Chain A
């Protein structure tokens, strides 16, 4: 047992070191984002000139942001992104909760095989199935509507994975008690399991929102016209045939990131609590 003052000094030094390390890591992490913001508000000539490193722009300008808003229907695209992401979120959360419950608490033949199939779909990148999927979407008459993006995006096993992981942690006794009281499976799910799963719902909601908000490869193909496009597609417009307009590109990236970052920061305590509670152990 060491002397008291010694312990406190060591603890104090430890705190300094830890804070220093975290601060350094935080700085490293945030600097690319800082750079994005700096470029978004720099003039074109500033971006092209100079071999020395300038830590902030000589002249802060809104011209890139103005150019972006003038050249593209940003408000409409923003609306499209919101509409699509919200519906994907609702669909994805609902289907994942239902399926996760089944896999974690119910017994049924073929459950292992079916779970394996779901796992298989997770490893498949969209580029491999793009053309075949497009044909299906067209045959179903979805092409040219939001549903061409919403349905394939909501078709994911990631939420199922997460939900199952969480729901395995729900005490069996609670469920058994409800069943003994005569509750049907659906009632048990709605009355007992769902209220206990609020953290999980928060996590599922956020993850599906995030992935659908940033998705661009599939929406570009599936949304026929300019007026239906989502925000991330806009970034591609700025990668022209002839070279990049970095100022406008970063301004646009900023417009794309800010909403989701705001949602993220405002609601992060729900997500953190959610991740902690999701029993991902």
Chain B
């Protein structure tokens, strides 16, 4: 049996086929001249949707035009592993100058002295320009280590058709009329009775790192999980137990589909789009998608309240690394991007909420379904600074897995609220080193 042999022609063809893509390649065999340290150049690493990246690019173009000789190199990377990469780069000593970071991850870097202290570099009036809750999100050890670029908080998106099928037509339109927890449970029962089989009343958006959205329920009960020292756990309280019980009841009462757990691979929004649920907790960023994809009539309303209204302070800040060689330029860039016009344009296009006090009001506009903007603005308005400050704790990254594990156990019915809350207390204490 002879080994099948190549003909010369197929070899040449093969070489040709291979050569073309190699020529197309970015020629990465040699070092391109490195942008770091080059005078007037900043590297900016971020992830983002198309709309967000477009927003960043136009802000960068404006900054470069206004600052002769400066260049910002935008490096767009996938969200999934962004922070594994940032960690590795920080440890190896060549991180980007500027990067984007969620508020709940901010503390991990700020608390470990990896970020540039912006305190001495910012202009004096900068603090007043932001809302108090936004400012609280970027503080660490008494100084400012980033600027809040935008926020998002969860309100509720409602499938009007399914609601009508269950006979519900009154939907709160202002934050003052938002459902209380009892009213929400009633709506859940009415939906269960009136919806077609295989459909659930709602889905909650706590998948993956979204577990921080459960904290909204805690805050709505006026509870807290950390004290102002960002170390002492406070979750073992009536408010804590109440929040756990209410969330667990979503599963025991059948208000959510069985796989709407924290560890689920599918996001809550997917079950809303596929009409497996009548409503979903969601941030404003979902609006453009909903408008283009949802095949049903939909609207939005505020999240429920218990003792008070409350929400998670989602969204991202922009930070500079402590190792940057261009601290003044980095600070100038961060200030520019968080000025009124760039922020307004970014938020309008990406359907996100601004962090500036002069923008977060009734004049807020979105490119898509702008009439819903006031709902989200109002929702962001009930987020309290003391709620936000806890999320900025350096141990937040270590607290998140504790939340994920204990809450999933509570949702599965494997442990009651008191045990869950007690475990959370000790888990958080272990994470903060209390």
Residues of A in contact with B (beta carbons under 8 Å apart): 44-45, 48-51, 71, 75-76, 78-83, 86, 130-131, 134-135, 138-139, 141, 143-147, 198-199, 217, 220-221, 223-228, 233, 236-237, 239-244, 269-270, 273, 277
Interchain CA distance A81-B87 in the complex, whole Å: 25
Question: Which of B75, B87, B94 contacts A225 (CB under 8 A)?
Answer: B75
User: Does the CB pair B94–A79 fall under 8 Å?
Assistant: no
The reply on B25 being an interface residue by CB < 8 A is yes
In the complex formed, the residue of B with least CB distance to A67 is B50
Contact mask for chain B residues 52-81; partner A; CB cutoff 8 A; 1 contact, 0 none = 000000000000000000000001111111
The main secondary structure of chain B at its interface with chain A is loop
Minimum Cβ distance to chain A for residue B263 (Å):
16
- CB neighbours of A221 from chain B (8 A): 81, 84-85, 88
Segment among B270-278, B360-368, B372-380, B407-415 that sits at the interface with chain A:
B270-278
Contact mask for chain B residues 10-40; partner A; CB cutoff 8 A; 1 contact, 0 none = 0000000010011111101111101000000
Interchain CA distance A139-B93 in the complex, whole Å: 10
The reply on B1 being an interface residue by CB < 8 A is yes
Q: What would 18 A/B residue contacts be, using CB atoms closer than 8 Å?
A: A48-B270, A48-B293, A49-B295, A79-B24, A80-B28, A81-B21, A134-B88, A144-B28, A144-B34, A145-B29, A198-B3, A226-B77, A236-B79, A239-B79, A240-B49, A240-B79, A241-B79, A243-B270
B: contact size bracket? 35 or more
Question: Which of B24, B88, B275 contacts A75 (CB under 8 A)?
Answer: B24
Given contact pairs A79-B21, A236-B81, A269 touches B26 in the complex (Cβ within 8 A): no
Given contact pairs A76-B26, A78-B24, A147-B29, A239 touches B80 in the complex (Cβ within 8 A): yes
- CB neighbours of B275 from chain A (8 A): 48-49
Interchain CA distance A228-B16 in the complex, whole Å: 22
The reply on B285 being an interface residue by CB < 8 A is yes
The reply on B286 being an interface residue by CB < 8 A is yes
Minimum Cβ distance to chain B for residue A195 (Å):
10
Interchain CA distance A227-B28 in the complex, whole Å: 9
Question: Which of A86, A130, A135, A145 contacts B28 (CB under 8 A)?
Answer: A145
Interchain CA distance A3-B53 in the complex, whole Å: 78
The reply on B169 being an interface residue by CB < 8 A is no
The reply on B198 being an interface residue by CB < 8 A is yes
Instruction: Apart from A45-B293, A138-B94, A145-B30, list 7 A-B contacts with CB within 8 A.
Output: A82-B18, A138-B92, A225-B75, A226-B75, A240-B47, A242-B285, A273-B1
- CB neighbours of A239 from chain B (8 A): 78-80
User: Does the CB pair A79–B26 fall under 8 Å?
Assistant: yes
Among the interface residues B3, B85, B94, which one has the most CB atoms of the partner chain A within 10 A?
Answer: B3
The reply on B4 being an interface residue by CB < 8 A is yes
Minimum Cβ distance to chain A for residue B2 (Å):
9
In the complex formed, the residue of A with least CB distance to B34 is A144
Interchain CA distance A262-B3 in the complex, whole Å: 21
